Amino acid sequence: AEDNLRQMQKMDAVGQLTGGIAHDFNNMLAVVVGGLELAKRKLRLKPAEAGHHLDNAMEGANRAAALTRRLLAFARSEPLLPNAVDPDSLLRGMADLVDRTIGDQIIVSFAHKASGWRIFVDQHQMENALLNLCVNARDAMEGRGKLTISTGQAQLAANQIGECPAGDYVTVSVTDNGCGMTAEVAARVFEPFFTTKPVGKGTGLGLSQIFGFVRQSQGEIRIESELGTGTSVHIYLPRRILTEQEAAAEAPASEQLHT
Ligand code: ADP
């Protein structure tokens, strides 16, 4: 429970803005202002040096702009439009996209074991989340390895996983045999903007967004990782028993004619 609380606090966008982000942004502005001041001083006597300082200022401004773009993308959280979704069909629908994203040096295998159980999620965001996990796995395997995407069924006791109430859950797991993580990295991966990837490659927003999405969908996410061995990300989502309307909407058209 304490972990969850801490995590929700970390997800507090306002806290993030007033903390590290504002600090980073200020540093970038300092580079801009400093560069402009130096350029102004050298403008008449050493124009070449002035040009160099202007370039520095420009670079600082560009980095500040990139930061605000990332912030805006993060803040623009789309409203969830949940539906009863069959996770196995969802994965089947994504197979081509995953293959294309992953490249042909990585062996991708699927295991569909949710056997007709449904979850209640925004399908588009669920697909984005899974694709994001696949991209992380690809990066961790540096282009070659084995990626497994599997669904399953779990009966959880109350608080067995986080604060999930007792009941039936669909699990969706993405497993790679890539570089794995140290305990220090694993403890921080859900923090917005936490990344170990080079500047320009990672945003550090993928897992924090997935965390937010899963929690909003009444689920939980867990990471198992061992350095040098690989990583599994497990998502738990409550099983959705179809309402009559949902069942009717799913029935083939021929059956609907008779009701
Ligand atoms: P990004 O991918 O932009 O860095 P994420 O929030 O998706 O942002 O991931 C944060 C960090 O978690 C990554 O930089 C990486 O260090 C670590 N990570 C995520 N997925 C994996 C994985 N499958 N294997 C190893 N490390 C991972």
Could you tell me the distance, in angstroms and rounded to a whole number, from the CA of residue 195 to the centre of ligand 1?
Answer: 6
What's the pLDDT at 258? 55
> Which ligand 1 atom sits nearest the alpha carbon of residue 205?
6
Q: What is the ipTM of this complex?
A: 0.99
pTM greater than 0.80 (yes/no) = no
Would you write out the chain's pLDDT as a tens digit for each of its 259 residues? 666 655 565 555 455 555 567 777 888 899 999 999 999 999 999 999 999 999 999 999 998 888 787 777 666 666 788 999 999 999 999 999 999 889 889 999 999 999 999 999 999 889 999 999 999 999 999 989 999 999 999 999 999 999 999 999 999 999 999 999 999 999 999 988 899 998 777 888 899 989 989 998 999 999 999 999 999 999 999 999 999 999 998 887 665 555 4
What's the pLDDT at 74? 66
Could you tell me the distance, in angstroms and rounded to a whole number, from the CA of residue 197 to the centre of ligand 1?
Answer: 8
| The dihedral formed by the CA atoms of 155, 161, 163 and 169, expressed in degrees to the nearest 10 | -30
What's the pLDDT at 32? 94
Verify whether ligand 1 is closer than 6 Å to residue 178 (CB atom). Answer: yes
Tokens 């990066």 correspond to 139
Contact 223, 211 (CB under 8 A): no
What's the pLDDT at 148? 98
Q: Which of 7, 74, 195 to mutate to test the pocket of ligand 1 (most atoms within 8 A of CB)?
A: 195
What's the pLDDT at 112? 97
Handedness of CA 239, 225, 157, 11 (dihedral sign): negative
What's the pLDDT at 253? 64
> Which ligand 1 atom sits nearest the alpha carbon of residue 230?
24
Question: What is the rounded distance in angstroms from the CA atom of residue 220 to the CA atom of residue 235?
Answer: 6
Question: What is the rounded distance in angstroms from the CA atom of residue 61 to the CA atom of residue 39?
Answer: 15
Q: Which two tokens stand for residue 43?
A: 């403008």
Beta carbons within 8 Å of 91's beta carbon, 6+ residues apart: 110, 112, 130, 149, 151, 172
What's the pLDDT at 205? 85
Q: Which of 255, 84, 237, 76 is nearest to 165 (CA)?
A: 237
Question: For residue 133, which amino acid is it?
Answer: L
What's the pLDDT at 39? 96
Question: What is the rounded distance in angstroms from the CA atom of residue 16 to the CA atom of residue 82?
Answer: 28
